[in-house]
């Protein structure tokens, strides 16, 4: 019997959210919203960034650009945009010999 059978899953069958009151959700630190699998700064999108990235086989550096740009206004603000820029600079330098 699969203990995760009733949980919502993504296109690949991975659990995307754990209902409140379940053991895994109740062990999160006080005040933490969402779950580690589906935090609110990603689950607010019609397609979660991880689903888009995996379905399209986006590379690591490009995936981090998308991740940080998608969450900046709901998580770390300018810090996330600076992280995205760091990955863009890396792509420019190593793939295009520019920057």
Lowest mean pLDDT among 63-67, 68-72, 95-99: 95-99
Model confidence pLDDT, tens digit, residues 45-62? 888 888 889 999 999 999
φ, ψ for residue 88, nearest 5 deg: -65, -45
Say which residue the tokens 């490009």 belong to: 62
Count of Cβ atoms closer than 10 Å to residue 90 Cβ: 15
> By C-alpha distance, which of 25, 26, 27 is closest to 15?
25
Provide the β-strand partners of residue 9: 15
Q: What whole-number distance in Å separates Cα of residue 19 and Cα of residue 43?
A: 14
Domain spans, the chain: 1-38, 39-96
Predicted TM-score of the model (pTM): 0.61
What pLDDT, on a 0 to 100 scale, did the predictor assign at position 43? 82
8 A C-beta contact, residue 79 and residue 71: no
């Amino acid at each position: 019997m699969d203990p995760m059978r009733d949980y919502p899953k993504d296109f690949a069958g991975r659990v995307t959210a754990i209902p409140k009151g379940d053991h895994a959700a109740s062990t999160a630190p006080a005040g933490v919203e969402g779950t580690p699998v589906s935090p609110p700064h990603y689950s607010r999108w019609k397609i979660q960034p991880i689903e888009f990235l995996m379905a399209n086989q986006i590379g690591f550096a490009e995936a981090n650009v998308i991740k940080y740009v998608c969450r900046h206004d709901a998580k770390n603000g300018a810090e996330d945009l600076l992280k995205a820029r760091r990955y863009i600079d890396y792509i420019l330098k190593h793939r295009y010999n520019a920057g």
